[in-house]
Amino acid sequence: MSTENALYTILVEKIKHDALVLPTLPEIALRVREAADDPEINLNQMSDIISQDPALSMGMLKVANSAVMGRSVKVETVNQAVTRIGLRQIKSIATAMAIEQVFVSENDIVAMYLQKSWDKTVDIASVAIALMTIFSKEHKHTSLALDTLTLAALVHNIGVLPILTEAEKHPDVFANPTFLQQAILKLGSRIGAEVTKAWGFSEELTVLVQSWSDLTVLPAEAHYLDFIRAGAVYHGIFKNRSTQEALLRSYVAKDILPDENFMESDEFKEMYDGARSMFS
């Protein structure tokens, strides 16, 4: 059996027997999520928790000062950032900002693949956030929330982590990036769903991670899936031209896009750059 097939078989068997080593959510994200679920928590207490993690503190400031928040006056402290974002959204946003911390490895090759994966995730998330920001302005009573989309977009490809961790035990696999990508395409969504379950995320997020790349799942109304898939179209993840065109037409019909060429416009690119700046 080839090394490639052996890895694939190992992954499938470990999934089947719940034996796959899943990444753990960063401790700071766990603390924020626990605090956010406490009905007695206040903004100052939440600020104190976030301030204990420099990377998360910086992330919160970037989000609070980003174009998606629609404010021109910049905030300079974590307390101000938390106040602007609000306790209702802070659970998802803080978790999203902490996700980058799990895309790390002490193995140089694995670290390179993880960095590429994170960059691609951010690219797709930035499109989704930009489109959701525009959509929300036009549909003020939508049930879709920007903080939920942000988290969903940043975990949609989280299944790559356990795959690369397992692949690290089979160094020869990295000599065949095409195969590795195929393994991620075939198993990433299924494994990603297991990660979100282990992290205690909502069933809605788990279903989204499991189905974002399954184009037989086509919501009738505007859905988080649409915004993430729009990012995949923009960045060429869905390579079939007819698939791209069909998806874009459906987004126009759902009022997610004003027209099929909107993502080529200066207005979109400005919003995209603004969303992307939160992660740089």
Torsion sign over Cα 115, 164, 179, 234: negative
Burial class (CB in 10 A: 0-12, 13-18, 19+), 91: buried
The Cα 193–Cα 186 span in angstroms is 13
Query: Could you tell me the pTM of the whole model?
Result: 0.91
Say what the pLDDT of residue 182 is: 80
Whether residue 86 lies inside any domain: the answer is: no
Percent of the chain residues past pLDDT 70, beyond the cut: 98
* Residue 61 belongs to some domain of the structure: no
Task: Give the pLDDT confidence score for residue 88 in this predicted structure.
Answer: 86
Tens digits of residue pLDDT in 44-99: 999 999 999 999 999 999 999 887 777 678 899 999 999 999 988 999 999 999 99
Is 148 within a domain? yes
Using one digit for the tens of pLDDT, what is the confidence trace for 195-253? Answer: 999 999 999 999 999 999 999 999 999 999 999 999 999 999 999 999 999 999 999 99
Q: Does residue 32 fall inside a structural domain?
A: no
Residue 7 sits in which domain range? Answer: 3-24+102-279
With beta carbons less than 8 A apart as the criterion, state whether 144 and 195 touch: no
What is the structure's pLDDT at 1?
47
The enclosing domain of 246 has a CATH number of: 1.10.3210.10
Total count of domains within the chain: 1
Write b or e for each residue in 30-51: b if 16 or more Cβ atoms lie within 10 A of its Cβ, otherwise e: ebbbebbeeeebeeeebbebbe
Which residue type is seen at 40?
E
Q: Is residue 244 part of a domain?
A: yes
> Is residue 50 domain-resident?
no
Number of C-beta neighbours around residue 119 at 10 A: 12
Does the residue 163 lie in any domain?
Answer: yes
Query: pLDDT category, 167, cuts 50, 70, 90?
Result: confident
Q: Residues 150, 151, 157, 160: is their CA dihedral positive or negative?
A: positive
